[in-house]
Amino acid sequence: MGTADAMLDMDLSDLVSRLDESLRTEDFADLDASENGLQVDRHDDSVTRVAFSVDAAVETIESAVDWGADLMVVHHGLSWDGIERVTGRHHARLARLLEADLGLYVSHLPLDAHPDHGNAAGLADLLSLSGREPFGALGGESIGQRGRLSTPRSTEAVHRTLEEALDHGGEGVQVLDFGPEPIEDVAIVTGSGADWFDEAVDAGVDAFVTGEGKGQLYHQARESAVTVFLGGHYATETFGVRALATVLENWGLETTFIDAPTGL
């Protein structure tokens, strides 16, 4: 992240419109509990510096304020099916945003799903998957990707790639090693993607990569003979915001990525 060659001021409304169009925000309005798009406005409509992070939390908001950001772009925002009360954590987060006149833009499922800049796309890039197809069906959209390793690889080799690259906060990548050797076909849904395991089984893949699992996933994987990699919710969802930061740099804005790994 850094400074573009020619720094620009962009109207917040124009920037939001460009992001919404690129991410197809409106197409996910009825699918996502997150209120995607601009969640917190700012008094000054001019934007020069944009901070990116996975989560909108006091820690990341304070870091964005310290850096002098005009806008924060995150994957996990503040409003999920609306905000009923502005108390406790909601008050602490909103108060700091408003005090600093720091806008907040959120992209949850749209950023999971984006074929080029999305979280699943970034993880597919990391694994060098080819022949990619949409995966992870949700209400007519797909929030993941499926593809083939260019060269079949052992479970150990895939695990090592994920361990070395993912920002798992030292917690490592869990493996449910029940699938065939070597691995060739892989399906991905980042974050909390265990609900799409049966789709992976139906697709006939060798391995399924997601962030976090559920208790029943162990036996599902064992009985289905599919290997599962659990890279961590946070770790598998840094790709999208990082990719968006590069997009905005190309639009002439200064960006930074605020890393706050949770180990979860």
Q: Each residue of 246-263: pLDDT tens digit?
A: 999 999 999 999 999 999
Residues 102 and 124 in one domain: no
| Residue whose C-alpha is closest to residue 163's, from 154, 176, 172 | 172
Position 7 confidence tier, pLDDT thresholds 50, 70, 90? low
Known binding residues are 75-76, 112, 233, 237
In-domain check, residue 239? no
Residues 128 and 62 in one domain: no
In-domain check, residue 4? no
In-domain check, residue 188? yes
The pTM of the full predicted model, rounded to 2 decimals, is 0.94
Region at 101 (left for phi over 0; alpha for psi -120 to 50; beta for the rest):
left
Q: Which domain holds residue 40?
A: 10-108
Residues 179 and 136 in one domain: yes
Q: Each residue of 173-230: pLDDT tens digit?
A: 999 999 999 999 999 999 999 999 999 999 999 999 999 999 999 999 999 999 999 9
Tell me how many domains the chain contains: 2
**Contact, 196 vs 129, CB < 8 A?**
no
Known binding residues for a divalent metal cation are 75-76, 112, 233, 237
CATH number of the domain residue 213 falls in: 3.40.1390.30
Beta-strand pair 207-210/46-47 = unpaired
Domain boundary among 72, 91, 108: 108
